[in-house]
Chain A
Amino acid sequence: MSEFKSGFFIGGEACNGRVLVVDDEPDIRKVVKMTLQKAGYEVLEAENGEKAIEVINSGENRLLLDVVICDIRMPKINGAEAIAYFRSNYPHVPLIVLTGFPDTDMATSFLRQGVVDYLVKPVEGEKLRSAVARAMEQRELARL
């Protein structure tokens, strides 16, 4: 059993971790989900910051959510506000920003806030998966 770090099963299959994708574009959620599922992650979706906060606060997600991938430009509660919420309420959950707008100032400020990675769309599947893998390592450290 030791090869499965998070050590839980979904539908009889080993799961490498539970990832929440927050983006207002259904197309992006679909394609990120497709990319991560191939690497054995379970992927949850939220269409804006408000929904994302709802998801992380519901049931077992409080404990079992491993990584959040978050867009910035979104309706209702936007990415920056959602990230601030996650950092103060769930500091052990690593965050990855996935945005359409490359902005160095914004990237620096997010990384200072403890965001693990700032990725600019379009990002290759391999790069996204390795960012999630790094975030998972951090998550594991937080569990110790």
Chain B
Amino acid sequence: MERSDHTKAAILGAGRGGHALLDLLHQIPSIEIVGIADRDPDAPGLQRAREIRVPVSDDVPSLIRTPGLGLIMDVTGDPAMEIYLHAHKPSAADILSGSASRLLWKLIQHESKLEAELLQAEKLAGIGSFASGIAHDINNPLQLILGLAENLIEERDLTAVHEQARDIVEAVKRTSAICRDLTQYSRRASHREEALVSINGKLDEALKIARYASSFHDIEMIKHYQTGAAVKGNPDELLHVLVNLITNAVHAMEQVGGTLTLETKLLNGQVDVRISDTGCGIAPEKIPEIFEPFFTTKAPGKGTGLGLYNVKTIVNKMHGRIAVESELDKGSVFTLTFPNGESTEQGCQS
């Protein structure tokens, strides 16, 4: 089972630095945190560790003797600890302490900032393609409102006046919902805002956004949602993942139409999300490349090539996996597998 890129790490010190390291390392699937230690049982890092189910300890000697331990991160700031570790650490374990630990923290922070920038850039580039969808969805109700209002100037039948006024109110509400949806989607994903998210609710939300990016005409929708499917993650980032996959699926069927199937399943403690289309499919030799940055099959200026790359980054961060099956001219299936958020729909953010 032990893979070469898999590292067991222990964190010593659970103050601000330990807390931050814990949060950052916890996001990296190839790092297993075997424990975090501090003398103070109320240290913030220990509280956080209990929340995310990382073993908590006050016994440094036994923690550093954990079998297979590869990395000890010392952020206690205690010179005595440094001396102790050098004398007693297992030979296979590396020690990162003091300024090296702080540097690592800074680098990881920098990387996560770059990732967030990349995500935002791709999202904003994508919004350009929403223009025709937005124009359609705003100008149609405006036409109705204008036509009815012009008619109301002369209308003498009171019943008709009331009915048309009500139609205007409804049309205005529909139009304002568009701005609400889009401003929410375009905002920068709030930093490390993790929550339990109802995956079914997010899929429906993503569907609304994706309708601006592509024409759903001639596309049949099938939904198979299992109630209670919830995952842990940043709700804005998850929305972005789903919008991306749905938009790709619809684009794959653009010329001929087809069926878009959205499925969620709870199985053996994990949540499966499946997005299938019956579109053009992906050539087998291209499949290994699709998650690479700047890979695109779209015309120059149409796609950033960052869509699936960002999707994969976010899914990994959520401790999930992404798999694709595809056949040319038959369609593609993207399956996301996440650890179960361990909850029902109640208390979920959608």
Contact = CB atoms under 8 A, between A and B. Distances in A.
Interface stretch (A2-10, A72-80, A134-142): A72-80
A32 B138 CA distance: 17
B142 interface: yes
Nearest to A102: B135
B139 A73 contact: no
Given A34-B151, A78-B217, A124-B150, A100 B145 contact: no
B147 A32 contact: yes
Contacts of A78: 217
A73 B132 contact: yes
Determine chain A's interface SS by DSSP, over half rule. Answer: loop
A27 B140 contact: yes
B190 interface: no
Contacts of B287: none
Interface residues on B, range: 20 to 34
B143 A76 contact: no
A63 interface: no
Contacts of B330: none
B220 to A, nearest CB: 11
A25 B136 CA distance: 10
Interface string A15-35: 000000000110110111011
B201 interface: no
Contact of B139 (A34, A74, A121): A121
A122 interface: yes
Given A27-B171, A74-B217, A102-B135, A121 B142 contact: yes
Contact of A34 (B137, B147, B218): B147
A27 B136 CA distance: 13
Contact of B150 (A35, A102, A103): A35
A31 B171 CA distance: 13
A120 B144 CA distance: 13
B44 interface: no
A100 B132 CA distance: 8
Contact of B135 (A27, A32, A101): A101
Contacts of A124: 146, 150
By CB atoms of chain A within 10 A, which of B135, B148, B167 has the most?
A: B135
Nearest to A75: B217
Most buried by A among B131, B138, B150: B150
Contacts of A74: 217
Interface of A: 24-25, 27-28, 30-32, 34-35, 73-76, 78, 100-103, 120-125
Nearest 9 A-B pairs (CB), nearest first? Answer: A31-B147, A75-B217, A100-B139, A122-B142, A121-B139, A121-B143, A100-B136, A122-B146, A122-B143
Interface of B: 131-132, 135-148, 150-151, 167, 171, 215, 217-218
12 contacts: A27-B143, A27-B171, A73-B132, A73-B217, A75-B218, A76-B218, A78-B217, A101-B136, A103-B132, A123-B143, A125-B146, A125-B150
Given A100-B140, A100-B143, A121-B143, 12 more contacts: A27-B144, A28-B140, A28-B144, A31-B146, A31-B151, A73-B132, A73-B136, A73-B217, A75-B218, A100-B137, A100-B138, A120-B139
